[in-house]
Chains A and B, each alone.
Chain A
Amino acid sequence: MLSKLEKRAERTHWGLFLRKDWSRNKLLYAMMLPALAYYLVFQYGPMYGAVIAFKDYSPAEGILGSPWAGLSHFKDFFEGFYFERVFTNTVLISVYTLLFEFPAPIVLALLINEVRSRAFRGFVQSVTYMPYFVSLIVICGIVKDFTNSGGIIQQIVASLGGADTALLQNPDYFRPVYVASEIWQRIGWESIIYIAALSSIDTEQYEAARIDGAGRWRQMRSVTLPGLLPTIMIMFILRMGNLLNVGFEKIILLYNSSIYETADVISSYVYRKGLIEFDWSFSAAVGLFNSVINLALLVLANYLSRRVNQNSLW
C-alpha cells in the first residue's frame, strides 16, 4: 500500500533509529560482549547436538552422521503403555510442590523478618538452610527412618487411623511425603533470596506506615508484600519454566514398585529404561519434550505476570 517513497522513508527512519540506539548504547553493548561470547561459544556452539532426538544416534557415526529417525522416538514415548501415568504423576508432583513448597520459603522469610533480635535471626537463618547441604542419600535415609513402621511420623499417622505399614508402601502418602521432605530440605536455602529482597525495602516506607498507625500485619500487607512482589514473581516464573523437571534422583531413593502409580515420573521411568539399554536418542527426545512444555509454561507465566503487575522477564 505504501508508495515507494514512503517505504524508503520508513527504512531510513528505521536505520536512523538503529544508529541512534547504537550511539546512545555503545558502552552497553560493549559490556555485553563477554556474556555474548560465552553464550555463543558454549551454549550455541554445541546446539547442533539437539538434533540427536530426531536421529538414531550411533557413537561411531557421530551426531551428524547418524541416520534420521524423525519423530519415531517421540512416538515411542507417547505410545508407551505407562506414558499417561508418568506424565500425570510428573505434573501432579510439580503442581503440589508449587502449591505447598513454593510459598514456604516466603513465609519463613516474612517470619524471620519480624524477629527483632539480630542474634536469633541469624541463628535461625543459619540452621534452617543446613538440610540443603546434607547429601540426598542421607536425607532420604532419614525420611525412611521416619516413615517406616515404628518411625515417628508413621506412628502419628497410624494413630490417626492411617497406614499401619511404611508410609512409602501406600500410594496415597507418596506425594505428601515427597513434598514435605522437599519443604524440609529447601525452605531455609530458598528463603535466602527473599530475605535479601526484604532487606532492600526502603525503611522509610515502614516509617510512613507506622506513622499512619499501621500495626504489624497491616505493615506487612502494605509495605512488605508489595516490596517482595517482584522477587516472588520472578521466582515463580522461573519455577514454571522448570515444572516438568522432577529430578529422578530423589524419586528413585524414595520410591518402590508398590507406589509406582503415584511415584513413577517421567525421569524415573526413562532412567529404568536406560538401565536395560541406554538410548541417547530416546533420552534426548524425552528431554526435548520436557523442554518444550517448560518453555511454553514460562512464556505463559511471564505473560500473565506482565499483565497483572508488570513484573516479567521481558
Chain B
Amino acid sequence: MQASTRKASSAILLSLMLTSTALTACSSSNNETGSPSPSASPSSSASAPASESASPSDSPNAGGSVYPIKTDVMLTRWLDSGAFSQQLAVTPKLEDFPFNKELEARTGIKVKYELPAVNQAKEQLNIMFASGEYTDIIEWNFVTGYPGGPEKAMQDGNILKLNDLIDKYAPNLKAYLAKHPEVDKQIKTDSGAYYGFPFIRGDDYLMTYGGPIIRKDWLDDLGLEVPTTMDEWYTMLKAFKEKKGATAPLTFISTPRLFDDLQQGLFYGAFGIKRDFYMDDGKVKFGPAEPGFKDFLTTMRKWYAEGLIDKDIATVDGKIRDANMTSGKSGATYALAGGGIGKWLTAMKDVDPKYDLVGAPYPVLNEGEVPKFGQKDFAAPQGGNFAISPKSKNPELAVQLLDYGYSEEGSFFFNFGKEGEAHTLVNGYPTYTDPVKENLPLNLGLYTRATGGPFVQDKRYYEQFAALPQQQEAVKTWGQTDVDKHQLPPISPTAEESTEFAKIMNEVNTLVDETTIKIILGTDSMDAYDKFLTKLESLNIDRAIEIYQAALDRYNAR
C-alpha cells in the first residue's frame, strides 16, 4: 500500500511542480511589467479582502505556486525556540499552534519542528552541522551567528545556494525583491548568492522602536517643552534634579556592555559620531577615533559631575533602570516602545495615575538640526535567515513553502492570522480580535507569526501591538533622523578578515569602554583622552576600518 501511494503522490507532486513551473514562467513576466506586486505595499492588501480571507482554495497567487500543494512529504524545520518560549509554555508542540495548523492547511505541506532549548541554539546548531544531521529548513541569522558569514556557510556545505530555486519556485519573493532593490542587497552575499529567505519589515514604521523616553508628567509640572537640543536636555535634567528630587535624573543601561543603550547614537549623535562604526559619504568611520568623541566625553563628564547622570551609572542594568524609571529616581532614559513605554505605563497605571511618558527626539547640538543617528533596523534585519540544507531531499518544496509568505494572501495571513479567529476587518483595517488582544504578546505567537517569519511585516500589526498613543507618537518621533544616510548596511567581512577583526575589536572595545567611563566618572582627567588616542592607534584600529571599508565597497557593488 505504501509504495504505490508514494509513487502516486510523487507523480502528482512532479506534475504539480511542472505545472507550477510553467505557470510561474508565464506569469512572472506579468509581474515584472508593473502590475502591483502583491506583497510590495502592505497597505494595498487591505483593498483585496476577498482573496485574503478565502478558505484554502486552489486560487493561484499572483505568479504562481498553486496552494495548497498536494503532497505527503513532511519537511523538517529547525528554529530557535527563544522567540516562542512563552507560547510553548501554553502549547508545548509547535505543530499545534493554531497558526501552524492553518498554515499547513493553506500550503498543503506538513512540517515537523525541531527546537533546541531556549538560549542553547548556537551550540545545538554547531553540533547539528558537525554531526551531519540536518533538517530541510534552518532558521538562523547567518550574518551574525555563523563565523565567516553566509558565504562560508554555503562553502561549508551547511546551507544551500538558492539562486536557481528562487528563480524557479519562489515567484512571490522574486517579485518583491525586484521592487525593493535595497532589500535585495541586504539578503545577498557579496558574490550575489541568495542563501535564505528573509524576514522583511515592510515599512519604515516597523524599523524604529527605541529611543529617548522622558517623564511627561514631570515636564508638564515644570512647564518644560520636550527637549530637542543638548542644552535643553541639560536644563531639563537640572530641573529634574533640583525641583523633582530625582537622584538619578538620567539613567540608562550600562552593563554588561558600557552605555549599551546609547549604541544607537543617543547623545553620541549630537557630536556627529556613533559609539562604533558608521559612514559619512561612503567612508567608514569609527566614532571614538573622531574628534567629536572628545566633545562627547567633555559634556557627559560635566553632566555627571553636576549629578545629572545616575551616580551608579556603570552598574545600571535592566532591572535597575526599570526600578529607577518607575520609582521616581529618574526622569529620562533610553528604552523601547514596548519594553519601556508599554511596560512602565502598564505597571504604573494604578499606582500613579499621573505618571506619563513621552518619546523624545534624539537630541542634536544646535537648534533645528536633524539628528544624525537613531535606532533603525534594516528591512531584512537578519539577512536571509530561512535557509535550506543541501542535504534536503525536497528543496523545491521547501522553497515553495517559504515563498508563501511573500504572496499577498500569505503575507496578510502571517501578519493577522485567520479571519474571525485572530482578526476581523473593521472598515478594511485588520483588527485583532478581543480574545487575542487580551494577551497580545502571547497570542500573536499562537495565532499569527507577526513578530518574525518568512514574510513581509505589515505596519498595522505594530500599530496595534504598540497601541498606546504615547507609543505610536514615540515611534514617529524616533523615526525622524538621518540614520539612513549614515548607518552601515549589513556588510560582511570575509572569514579571515572576520577573525582578524574580532581580535582587534575586542581590545579596542575594552579600551574605549574603559576610557569612556573613567573620564566621565571623573576618575581620570581629560588628559587621559590623548593617551587614549595613541593607544587606539597602536591597537590597529585603522586596519579594522580598512576591513569594514572593503566590505562596504563590496556591498555597494552587489
Query: Is chain B found bound to chain A in the same assembly?
Result: yes
Residues of A within 8 A of B (CB): 58-62, 76, 80-82, 141, 144, 148-149, 165-166, 168-169, 252-253, 255-261, 264, 269, 272-273, 276-280
Partner of B147, one of A144, A253, A256, A278: A278
CB-nearest residue of chain A relative to B146?
A59
- The answer to whether B254 and A256 touch across the interface, beta carbons within 8 angstroms, is yes
Chain A residues near B501: list those with CB within 8 A.
276-277
Whether A256 contacts B258 in the complex (CB less than 8 A), given A76-B503, A169-B312, comes out as: yes
Chain A residues near B514: list those with CB within 8 A.
257-258, 260-261
- The answer to whether B312 and A59 touch across the interface, beta carbons within 8 angstroms, is no
Partner of A273, one of B155, B503, B523: B503
Question: Closest Cβ of chain B: how far from A170's Cβ, in Å?
Answer: 9
Minimum-distance CB pairs A-B, first 4? A60-B156, A166-B312, A257-B513, A277-B502
- The answer to whether B503 and A58 touch across the interface, beta carbons within 8 angstroms, is no
- The answer to whether A277 and B311 touch across the interface, beta carbons within 8 angstroms, is no
Question: Closest Cβ of chain A: how far from B69's Cβ, in Å?
Answer: 32
Chain A residues near B314: list those with CB within 8 A.
166, 168-169, 256-259
Does B505 lie at the interface of the complex (its beta carbon under 8 Å from any beta carbon of A)?
yes
Chain A residues near B506: list those with CB within 8 A.
269, 272-273, 276
Question: Closest Cβ of chain B: how far from A167's Cβ, in Å?
Answer: 9
Question: Closest Cβ of chain A: how far from B441's Cβ, in Å?
Answer: 22
1/0 contact string of B309-344 vs chain A (CB within 8 Å): 001111101011000000000000000000000000
Q: How far is the CA of A86 from the CA of B148 in the complex (A)?
A: 27
Chain B residues near A255: list those with CB within 8 A.
255-256
Q: How far is the CA of A169 from the CA of B520 in the complex (A)?
A: 12
Q: How far is the CA of A279 from the CA of B521 in the complex (A)?
A: 34
Partner of A82, one of B317, B505, B510: B510
Q: Counting chain A CB atoms within 10 Å of each CB, which of B157, B255, B499, B513 scores highest? A: B255
- The answer to whether A277 and B498 touch across the interface, beta carbons within 8 angstroms, is yes
Chain A residues near B156: list those with CB within 8 A.
58-61
Whether A149 contacts B312 in the complex (CB less than 8 A), given A144-B320, A255-B256, comes out as: yes
- The answer to whether B315 and A148 touch across the interface, beta carbons within 8 angstroms, is yes
Task: Tell me the B155-209 residues at the A interface (CB within 8 Å).
Answer: 155-158
Whether A169 contacts B499 in the complex (CB less than 8 A), given A62-B130, A148-B312, A256-B256, comes out as: no
Q: How far is the CA of A149 from the CA of B309 in the complex (A)?
A: 13
Whether A59 contacts B516 in the complex (CB less than 8 A), given A272-B506, A276-B505, comes out as: no
CB-nearest residue of chain B relative to A148?
B312
Chain A residues near B152: list those with CB within 8 A.
58
- The answer to whether B315 and A256 touch across the interface, beta carbons within 8 angstroms, is yes
- The answer to whether A60 and B509 touch across the interface, beta carbons within 8 angstroms, is no
Q: How far is the CA of A256 from the CA of B256 in the complex (A)?
A: 6
Chain B residues near A259: list those with CB within 8 A.
314
Q: How far is the CA of A61 from the CA of B132 in the complex (A)?
A: 11
Does B518 lie at the interface of the complex (its beta carbon under 8 Å from any beta carbon of A)?
yes
- The answer to whether A258 and B521 touch across the interface, beta carbons within 8 angstroms, is yes
Question: Closest Cβ of chain B: how far from A62's Cβ, in Å?
Answer: 6
The 21 listed contacts between A and B (C-beta, < 8 Å) are A59-B126, A59-B129, A60-B157, A60-B158, A80-B503, A81-B507, A148-B315, A148-B320, A149-B247, A149-B311, A165-B311, A169-B315, A256-B254, A256-B256, A256-B517, A257-B254, A257-B516, A264-B510, A272-B506, A272-B510, A273-B502
Whether A252 contacts B256 in the complex (CB less than 8 A), given A276-B505, A279-B502, comes out as: yes
Chain B residues near A277: list those with CB within 8 A.
147, 498-499, 501-502
Question: Closest Cβ of chain B: how far from A158's Cβ, in Å?
Answer: 12
Partner of A258, one of B256, B319, B498, B517: B517
CB-nearest residue of chain A relative to B255?
A256
- The answer to whether B523 and A258 touch across the interface, beta carbons within 8 angstroms, is yes
Chain B residues near A80: list those with CB within 8 A.
503, 507
Number of B interface residues at 8 Å Cβ cutoff, please give it.
43
Task: Tell me the B108-133 residues at the A interface (CB within 8 Å).
Answer: 122, 126, 129-130
Give 19 A-B pairs besides A144-B315, A165-B521, A258-B521 with Cβ atoms closer than 8 angstroms: A58-B148, A59-B156, A76-B503, A141-B319, A148-B315, A148-B320, A166-B315, A169-B314, A169-B315, A252-B256, A253-B256, A255-B256, A257-B513, A260-B510, A260-B513, A269-B510, A276-B502, A277-B147, A279-B502
Task: Tell me the B212-247 residues at the A interface (CB within 8 Å).
Answer: 247
Question: Closest Cβ of chain B: how far from A58's Cβ, in Å?
Answer: 7
CB-nearest residue of chain A relative to B493?
A277
CB-nearest residue of chain B relative to A272?
B506
Task: Tell me the B452-510 residues at the A interface (CB within 8 Å).
Answer: 498-499, 501-503, 505-507, 509-510
Q: Counting chain B CB atoms within 10 Å of each CB, which of A80, A256, A257 scores highest? A: A257
Chain B residues near A276: list those with CB within 8 A.
501-502, 505-506, 509
CB-nearest residue of chain A relative to B509?
A272
CB-nearest residue of chain A relative to B319?
A141
CB-nearest residue of chain B relative to A150?
B247
Chain B residues near A256: list those with CB within 8 A.
254-256, 258, 314-315, 517
Whether A59 contacts B130 in the complex (CB less than 8 A), given A257-B314, A258-B521, A278-B122, comes out as: yes
Question: Closest Cβ of chain A: how far from B525's Cβ, in Å?
Answer: 15
Does B539 lie at the interface of the complex (its beta carbon under 8 Å from any beta carbon of A)?
yes
1/0 contact string of B239-270 vs chain A (CB within 8 Å): 00000000100000011101000000000000
Chain B residues near A76: list those with CB within 8 A.
503
Q: How far is the CA of A276 from the CA of B152 in the complex (A)?
A: 17
Chain A residues near B502: list those with CB within 8 A.
273, 276-277, 279
Q: How far is the CA of A278 from the CA of B499 in the complex (A)?
A: 9
Chain B residues near A280: list those with CB within 8 A.
126
Question: Closest Cβ of chain A: how far from B522's Cβ, in Å?
Answer: 10
Q: How far is the CA of A273 from the CA of B314 in the complex (A)?
A: 20
- The answer to whether B510 and A59 touch across the interface, beta carbons within 8 angstroms, is no
Q: How far is the CA of A296 from the CA of B353 in the complex (A)?
A: 64
Chain B residues near A58: list those with CB within 8 A.
148, 152, 156
Q: How far is the CA of A259 from the CA of B314 in the complex (A)?
A: 9
Q: How far is the CA of A223 from the CA of B219 in the complex (A)?
A: 72
Chain A residues near B518: list those with CB within 8 A.
258
Chain A residues near B129: list those with CB within 8 A.
59-60
CB-nearest residue of chain A relative to B155?
A60
Q: How far is the CA of A279 from the CA of B148 in the complex (A)?
A: 10
CB-nearest residue of chain B relative to A270?
B506
Whether A257 contacts B499 in the complex (CB less than 8 A), given A165-B312, A252-B256, A272-B506, comes out as: no
